[in-house]
Chains A and B, each alone.
Chain A
Amino acid sequence: MTPTPLGKDLLGLEELSADQIRLVLDTAEAFKEVSERPIKKVPALRGKTIVNLFFEASTRTRISFEFAEKRLSADTVNVATQGSSVAKGETLVDTARNLEAMRIDMVVIRHPASGAAKFLGERIRSNVINAGDGKHEHPTQGLLDLLTLRDRFGRIEGLKVAICGDVLHSRVARSNIWGLTKLGAEVAVCGPASLLPTGLDRLGVRVIRRIDEALQWADAVNILRLQLERMEGGFVPSLREYNRIFGVTRERLARAGREVVVMHPGPMNRGVEIDSDVADGPASVILPQVTNGVAVRMAVLYLLAGGSPDWATHPAEDR
C-alpha cells in the first residue's frame, strides 16, 4: 500500500500535523461543489469497497459517511451490530479478520470503546477511519467543525473557541482541542468541574467555570450534548439545574455584547444545553456543520484512498 498524505488510517486529530489538517480542509473545500451539482457523483472511488461498521447507534454520522462514499462512487456496505455476528459474541479482532478476508478497501468504524479504531487499524491492511471511538476522538467531526469555523471567520489562527458542557465524556471535545490548538486557535472548556477531565491545562487549554465568562471570552462556542446517563452517574443533579447554570440561552448570548458563533455536534437537547432560539438563531452554524460533514468525509475518504492532493487546486475535472 502506497503511503497517503494522511497515512494509512484516520484515527484522531492528535496524530495529524497542522499541514495534514489544512490539506483535508482544502480538499473538502473543493469537494463542497460536488454536493451542489444536479448529479451528485464523481468517480474518484469507483471500484473501492467500504464497510461502515457501526457498533453504536448513529444517524447523522453514518448517513453523512454513506453520502460521502456514494458521491465518490464507492461500493458500500453498512453493518450495524444488532443482529450481526457481534451480537453473537464475536470479538473485534475476529470481526476485523473476517472483513479483511473479504478484501475490502476501507472500514469506517464507530465503537463504544476508546482505541477501537486504532485496534482495528493495527490488525487489517485496509484503511480505517474513526467515526467516533468511546470518549477518545471523533476526527471527522473535529475537521468539519474546523471547516465551519474557517468558512465563518476566514481563519482559525487566533480564534477563541470555548467548548462547553460534558467535556469528560466527549470525543468531539478531544478532536476539537487537538484540531484547534494545532491550527493556532485559543481553546477554553467550560462546564461543571465534575464533567471536565484532569490535565487539560497541560494541553494549553483554559478552564472557565461560568458560562457567562466563556461567552464573554469566546468568538465561537461549541456546545456539547448532555447525555441523560450523566444524571444517573451523579455528575450533575438535574437537567433543569444544568440549563439554568450552564445552558446557552439568548439572554446569555446577548450579554456577551457581540456575536458569538454557536456550534453543536448534535443531536441537540433543546432546552438543556442549548435553547431553541439560540440553535435556530442568526449566530448558529449548526446546519452548515452538517453540510460540511459530507465534504470533509469525502476529502478524508479520497485522500486515504490514495487520491492526489491536487484535487484541492484542480477541482474542475472529474478523476
Chain B
Amino acid sequence: MTALLISGGRVIDPTRGTDGPADVLVDEGRIVAVGHNIPLGPGVARLDASGRVVAPGLVDLHVHFREPGQEHLETIASGATAAAAGGFTAVCAMPNTDPVVDNQAAVGFVVRQAIRAGKARVYPIGCISLGQKGQQLAEFGEMVAAGAVAVSDDTRPVVSSQLMRTALEYAQTFGIPVTDHCEDPSLAQGGVMHEGLVATRLGLKGIPAAAEEVVVARNIVLARLTGGHLHVCHVSTAGAVELIRRAKDLGVRVTAEATPHHLALTDLACEGYQTSAKVRPPLRSAEDRAAIVAGLVDGTIDCIATDHSPQHYDAKEREFDEAAAGVVGLETALPVALAELVKPGHLSLLGLIDRMSTAPARLYGLSGGSLAVGAPADIVIFDPNAAWRPQASDLHSKSANSPFLGREFVGRVDQTLVGGRVVFDRSVKNIDG
C-alpha cells in the first residue's frame, strides 16, 4: 500500500479539539503525521484536499443491512458501499435479518461478508434474545468472541423487564452495551405515525410519545439497578430526551442516539399519506424535534445514527397503513446533519464530527473517530460547500426509500478512506476492493 499525503485540507479532529488547515500523512493503514507543510516524500501519493474538510470517518451505530435473507433490499456489500459513499468508515449492523444474528456462526458470517466487501468496516450487533423472541438470552460471550460489539433486539422492543435486567447484568462481563428499541407494544399497537393533530386529520392510528417514554424510563431504572450500559436507539420524543438527561445527571450509564430524519422532519412530512415518511419510531412534533436538537447540542444524546433501513419501492407504494416503515440514511446523513445542526449554528463542524464519529466510536469501542498519529487511517474528505440534490440514481444502496430525495443540500463526500485505502472516490466510477 502506497503512502498518501492528504494536503491543504481543513482538518478536524474532535479527540484533540482541533479545527484548522493541516496536512495528514497516511502510511501502512495508519496516520503517521499531522502538521503543516509535510513534504511529499518519494513514493508518496498526494491527495489535494484544499477547500475541503478532512475528518475522522463517520461512524454509524445503527444500520440494517438485509443480509442474510432479504438480499434484494441490501447486502452487506451494497450497504458497506453506501456507507463509504456517505463518508462512513464504520457501521454497526442490527441483527434482525432472516435468520437473525443470535449466535456466533451468524456473527462470523457478517464479519466475513464485510471483509469480502472491503468497503466500510461492518461490526455485527447480536441479538439480546434467541430468535429475538424476548425469552431466552442469546450467547453474548460467544457472539462477542466472534466480533459482536453490542446486543439488541432492535425493531422488537424488549417487553420483559426481567429479560432486560438480565441482559444489562450479563453484558457487563463482556463490556458491551445493551441497546433497545424503546417502545411499549401495547401503547403502540396498530399505530403507523405520531399521535397528534396530523394523525387525527389523516385518520391514521397514532403512536403516542408515551409509548417510547415509558420504556426509556423503565430501562433507565434497570440500568441504574444493574450498573449496565444502556444505549437508547433512535430517541424521538422530548420526554425521552428529558428522562435521559436526568438519568445522566444521576450518573446512570445511559447513552443515546438520534437519527437524521428525526432531526430534520416532523409528522407533517406524513401529510398526503407520504409513505416515504413512515418510520419507526415515527416522525414526531416540532417540539420533539427541537428537543432532539437541544439534546444533541448539550450531549444528552451522544451521537447521530441513521437507522438505515432499506425497503423495496413496492413496499412503499402502498396504503399508508400497509406500507413498510423505514428510510435509508447512510448517503444523506452528513448533508442532513450539516443543514439541521451546523448551518443554523446549533453545533460547530467540530461538534458535528464528534457526534457523527468520535462519540459513537467511543461508545461502542470501535476503530476510528480520531486523526491522532498512530490511529487507523479511517478518514472522510468532504466538500462543505458543494450543493446537490440527492436522486435515487445517486445512491449506492440497493434501496432508495428516502424522504430527502430531490431536496437541495450543501455538503458532499468526495473520498472515504478505511485503513488508509480509498474505498470511495466520487471522481472515480468504481473502486474495487
- Residues of A at under 8 Å CB distance from B? 14, 91-93, 111, 113-116, 118-119, 133-137, 171, 174, 197-200, 202-203
Residue numbers in A under 8 Å from B199 (CB-CB): 197-198
Is B43 part of the contact surface with A, judged by Cβ < 8 Å? no
> Does the CB pair B273–A119 fall under 8 Å?
yes
B140 in the interface, Cβ–Cβ < 8 Å? no
Question: A118–B318 Cα gap in the complex (Å)?
Answer: 11
Do B319 and A119 touch across chains, with their CB atoms under 8 A apart?
yes
B48 within 8 A of partner (CB): no
Give the contacting residue for B202; candidates A115, A198, A203; CB below 8 A: A115
| CB atoms of B319 and A92 under 8 A apart | yes
Residues of B within 8 A of A (CB): 195-197, 199-206, 272-273, 314, 317-322
Q: In the complex, which of the residues B200, B203, B204, B321 contacts A199, with contact meaning CB atoms closer than 8 Å? A: B200
Taken together as a complex, chains A and B put the C-alpha atoms of A171 and B200 apart, in Å, by 10
Q: Given A118-B272, A118-B273, A198-B206, A113–B200 Cβ distance below 8 Å?
A: no
- How far does the alpha carbon of A128 sit from the alpha carbon of B229 in the complex, in Å? 54
B317–A93 touching, CB < 8 Å: yes
Q: Residues of B contacting A197 with CB < 8 Å?
A: 199-200
Contact A198 B195 (CB under 8 A): yes
* 24 residue pairs from A and B, CB less than 8 Å apart: A91-B314, A93-B317, A111-B319, A113-B321, A113-B322, A114-B203, A114-B204, A114-B319, A114-B320, A114-B321, A115-B203, A115-B204, A116-B319, A134-B204, A135-B204, A135-B205, A136-B203, A174-B203, A197-B199, A198-B197, A198-B200, A199-B200, A199-B201, A203-B197
> What 8 new A-B contacts, CB under 8 Å, besides A114-B320, A118-B273, A199-B197?
A113-B320, A114-B204, A115-B203, A115-B204, A119-B273, A198-B195, A199-B200, A200-B200
The CA-CA distance from A174 to B204 in the complex, in Å, is: 12
Nearest chain A residue, comparing its CB with the CB of B189: A233
User: Which of chain B's residues have a CB closer than 8 A to the CB of A202?
Assistant: 197
Q: Is the CB of B201 within 8 A of A174?
A: yes
Is A115 within 8 A of B273, CB to CB?
yes
* A-side contacts of B206, CB under 8 Å: 198
Name which residue of chain B comes closest to A93, CB basis.
B317
Q: Given the complex of chains A and B, what is the CA–CA distance between A116 and B323 in angstroms?
A: 12
Once the chains bind, are B196 and A199 in contact (CB under 8 Å)? yes
Main secondary structure of the interface of A (DSSP, over half): mixed
Whether B201 lies near A14 (C-beta < 8 A) is yes
**A69 to B156 CA separation, bound complex (whole angstroms):** 49
A55 CB → nearest B CB, Å: 10
Tell me if B203 and A134 are in contact (CB < 8 A).
Answer: yes
Main SS at interface, chain B: loop
B195 surroundings in chain A (CB, below 8 A): 198
Chain B residue at minimal CB-CB distance from A178: B201
Q: Cβ of B272: which chain A residues have Cβ within 8 Å of it?
A: 118
Known: A93-B317, A118-B273. A198 touches B322 (CB 8 A): no
**Contact present for B322 and A136 (CB under 8 Å):** no
**Whole-angstrom distance between the alpha carbons of A262 and B200 in the complex?**
25
> Which listed residue (A93, A137, A203) contacts B203, Cβ 8 A?
A137
A118 to B273, CA, bound (A): 8
Check if A92 sits within 8 Å of B202, measured CB to CB.
no
Distance in angstroms between the alpha carbons of A198 and B199 in the assembled complex: 9
Determine how close the nearest CB of chain B comes to the CB of A142; give it in whole angstroms: 13
- Looking at the complex, which one of A93, A115, A174 makes contact with B320 (CB distance below 8 Å)? A115
Chain A residues lying within 8 Å of B318, measured Cβ to Cβ, are 91-93
CB distance from A166 to the nearest CB of B (A): 13
In the complex, chain B residues whose CB is within 8 Å of the CB of A119: 273, 319
Contact A113 B201 (CB under 8 A): no
A133 CA to B201 CA, complexed, in Å: 12
Smallest CB–CB gap between A231 and chain B, Å?
Answer: 16
Bound CA–CA A198/B204 (angstroms):
12
Instruction: Report the Cα distance A122→B314, complex, angstroms.
Output: 16
- Check if A134 sits within 8 Å of B321, measured CB to CB: yes
Q: How close is A270's CB to chain B, nearest CB, in angstroms?
A: 27
Contacts A91-B318, A116-B319 hold; do A133 and B196 have CB atoms under 8 A apart?
Answer: no
| A137 contact set on B, CB distance < 8 A | 203
B266 to chain A, nearest CB (A): 14
**How close is B276's CB to chain A, nearest CB, in angstroms?**
14
Minimum CB–CB distance from A276 to chain B (whole Å) comes to: 30
Contacts of B196 in A (CB 8 A): 198-199
User: B319 and A115: CB pair below 8 A?
Assistant: yes
Q: A76 to B199, alpha carbons, bound, how many Å?
A: 34
Q: Which residue of chain A lies nearest to B322 when distances are taken between CB atoms in the complex?
A: A113
Task: Name which residue of chain A comes closest to B274, CB basis.
Answer: A115
Closest to A55 in B: B319
Question: Smallest Cβ distance from B19 to chain A, in angstroms?
Answer: 44
On chain B, the residues within 8 Å of A199 by CB distance are 196-197, 200-201
Instruction: Enumerate chain B residues within 8 angstroms of A111, measured Cβ to Cβ.
Output: 319
Nearest Cβ on chain B to A110's Cβ, whole angstroms? 13
Which residues in A have their C-beta under 8 angstroms from that of B203?
A: 114-115, 133-137, 171, 174
Cα A91 to Cα B197 in complex, Å, equals 29
- Return A77 CB to nearest CB of chain B, in Å: 22
Residue of B nearest to A234 (CB): B186
Chain B nearest CB: distance from A198 CB in Å? 6
> A228 to nearest B CB, angstroms?
17
- Nearest chain B residue, comparing its CB with the CB of A171: B203
- Chain B neighbourhood of A115, CB < 8 A: 202-204, 273, 319-320
Quick one: closest B residue to A174, CB to CB? B203
Determine the chain B residues whose CB is within 8 A of the CB of A133 once the complex forms: 203
Contacts of B322 in A (CB 8 A): 113
Which residue of chain A lies nearest to B205 when distances are taken between CB atoms in the complex? A135
Q: How far is the CB of A208 from chain B (nearest CB, A)?
A: 17
Shortest Cβ distance from A197 into B: residue: B200
Contact A114 B200 (CB under 8 A): no
Residues of A near B320 (CB, < 8 A) are 113-115
> Nearest chain B CB to A12's CB is how many angstroms away?
9
Question: Roughly how many angstroms separate A174 CA and B200 CA in the complex, as a whole number?
Answer: 9
Q: A199 to B201, alpha carbons, bound, how many Å?
A: 9
* A118 surroundings in chain B (CB, below 8 A): 272-273
Shortest beta-carbon contacts, A-B, top 9? A199-B197, A136-B203, A115-B273, A113-B319, A135-B203, A114-B203, A197-B200, A113-B321, A199-B200
